[in-house]
Structures are given as C-alpha cells and as structure tokens.
Amino acid sequence: MNRINKKLQEAKKIFSIYFSAGYPNLNDTVQIIQDLEKNGVDMIEIGLPFSDPLADGPTIQASSTQALHNGMTTQVLFDQLKDVRKTVTIPLVIMGYFNPMLQYGIENFCQKCAEVGIDGLIIPDLPVDVYADEYKATFEKYGLKNIFLITPQTSVERINFIDSVSDGFIYMVSSASVTGSQTGFGAEQADYFKRIADMNLNNPQVIGFGISDKETFNQATHYAKGAIIGSAFIKHLTQNGTGKIKEFVEEII
C-alpha cells in the first residue's frame, strides 16, 4: 500500500509540512526531512523550486528563488533523495510545477520518484482532465498518487470529477489567495470547510494555505483529515536555520 494511503488510515489528524528543497542551504534538504519526521510530522511536501510559481506567496517564492540560486535542480533533488528511505518512513510528496517535469521527461520523472521513494505529486498547473487523459496511466505505473487542489470557487461538478480520478487525498486550498497571505479563518472559510466535509467524498481532505499555528491547525482539522503548514515553517527556517525544528513542531502539536 502507498504510504499516503496507509497514513490516511491512521486514527489521527495529519500534520504535513511544506518546505522548498535546497533552502536555506542547498544540502539541507534531507536533514530537514529527517528532523521533521523525528519530531512528529506525519507527511512532508518537498517543494521543487521553479522560476514562475503561480500559487506561491512571497515567503515561498523567496525561498524558491534562493534555492535556485543555491543550485537546486530536479536532478540535484533526486540525487539528494537517493538514500532518504534508509532513514525516513513517512510519506514524501513532491510539490512543483509541470514545466520542470516536462523538461525532465514525464516518464523519467515518475521513474526517478519511484526509485527514491516519493509517494505522490502535487502539480498546481496540471489540469485534472489533462492528467486523466494523458498522464494517469504513467503515474499509476510508478505507484504515484497525484494530489489535486480545490478552492472555495471550485464547482461541485469539478470536485466530484477530481474525487473520481484521485486515490490519495484532496488538497483543499483554504481561500482564493496565494500561500502565506492570511492569518486565521473566518466564518466564510468555516462554511467552505463544512460544505466540503458534508459532500462525503471518497478521498479525505487536507487543508493548506493560511495554516500557521496551533489555532489554525485545529480549526482546519476540525473539518478535514489534516492540514499543511508551509510559509510559517519557511519563515522559521529563515529566522532560525535548521537548528530549531523541534520547537516549531511542538508549538503546533
């Protein structure tokens, strides 16, 4: 069974962390992953830096830009991760944009993901219908779960279609804004969380964007299986380096 599916079956709320590979320093990637797992994080999204990150707010954009300047590339990331499964057991997801994957070659990219132990991909600019028609078979060949995003504006019809082609979790974007651009959740977002929960979809939901502390994590996971923190963790890395990851995680859980 894929590690994502196995983790989602556990009787607990899922705490996922996103960070940009190669940030703050090029060779920090694996150490950050190991420290996050050691301190209780359930799943990790490894950001593959890209020069034109449409969904990312300024904090993640800045970390992505710095990682590119540090020398991070698709191949460097795969080289860094080649032995990660000797020490890490939790689900690992690569979040990135479609252009670098196309440049690498979709089949080659999926094969390398399988070789190093990646469990799934989040590709915000790959439309679900294009995926279903052209790439689903390749992803499944290599045992990769493709995770799709929904927003408060996503139609019921499209949500149901995404649910029908998914076999992992659905990434619920908490609002229409980019990452890291809000604090706390209001009634409108709570209504959205409840509306999606009431749809009783086949795939569990994990909420991202706007999760920054224990309060927002608890608000999100009241309605969903889990929540993802990205910008707040990257700010922590920017201020503290990689030495205080334990303190960050303990403040959330």
Domain annotation covers residue 92: yes
CB-based contacts of 56: which residues, under 8 Å, 6+ apart? Answer: 64, 178, 179
- The separation between CA 98 and the C-alpha centre of its own chain, rounded to angstroms, equals 15
Q: What would the pLDDT profile of 24-49 be if each residue is shown by its tens digit?
A: 999 999 999 999 999 999 999 999 99
Choosing from 28, 35, 42, 56, which is the catalytic residue? 56
At residue 182, does pLDDT exceed 60?
Answer: no
- 45: containing domain: 13-252
Domain annotation covers residue 2: no
At residue 51, does pLDDT exceed 90?
Answer: no
Domain annotation covers residue 97: yes
For the chain, percent of residues with pLDDT exceeding 70: 95
Is 191 one of the annotated active-site residues of the chain? Answer: no
DSSP symbol at 131: I
Distance (Å, whole) CA 236 – CA 248: 7
Choosing from 42, 45, 163, 167, which is the catalytic residue? 45
pLDDT band at 75 (very low <50, low <70, confident <90, very high): very high
Domain annotation covers residue 6: no
Q: What would the pLDDT profile of 199-236 be if each residue is shown by its tens digit?
A: 999 999 999 999 999 999 999 999 999 999 999 999 99
> Tokens at residue 138, please?
């390749």
- The separation between CA 44 and the C-alpha centre of its own chain, rounded to angstroms, equals 7
Is 119 one of the annotated active-site residues of the chain? Answer: no
Residue type, 196: I
Domain annotation covers residue 3: no
How far separated are the first and last CA of the chain, in Å rounded?
A: 27
Do residues 44 and 37 lie in contact, with contact meaning Cβ atoms separated by under 8 Å? yes
At residue 181, does pLDDT exceed 50?
Answer: no
Do residues 18 and 230 lie in contact, with contact meaning Cβ atoms separated by under 8 Å? yes
Q: Is the peptide bond before 24 cis (omega within 30 degrees of 0)?
A: yes
> Into how many domains does the chain fold?
1
**Mean pLDDT for all residues in the chain:** 94
> Tokens at residue 157, please?
């019809």
Domain annotation covers residue 8: no
> Tokens at residue 56, please?
């990312």
Domain annotation covers residue 1: no
At residue 119, does pLDDT exceed 50?
Answer: yes
pLDDT confidence of residue 156: 98
Helices (H), the chain: 3-8, 29-38, 58-70, 74-81, 98-104, 106-116, 128-130, 136-141, 156-165, 187-197, 214-221, 231-240, 245-252
Do residues 210 and 188 lie in contact, with contact meaning Cβ atoms separated by under 8 Å? no
Instruction: Count CB-CB contacts under 10 A for residue 101.
Output: 22
Distance (Å, whole) CA 150 – CA 162: 9
- CATH no. for residue 43? 3.20.20.70
Do residues 66 and 19 lie in contact, with contact meaning Cβ atoms separated by under 8 Å? no
What is the chain's alpha carbon radius of gyration, rounded to the nearest angstrom? Answer: 17
- Over residues 103-124, the mean pLDDT reads 98
- Over residues 74-82, the mean pLDDT reads 98
Token pair 């992505």: residue? 64
Burial 215-240 (b: 16+ CB within 10 A, else e): ebbebbbebbbbbbbbbbbbbbbeee
Domain annotation covers residue 125: yes
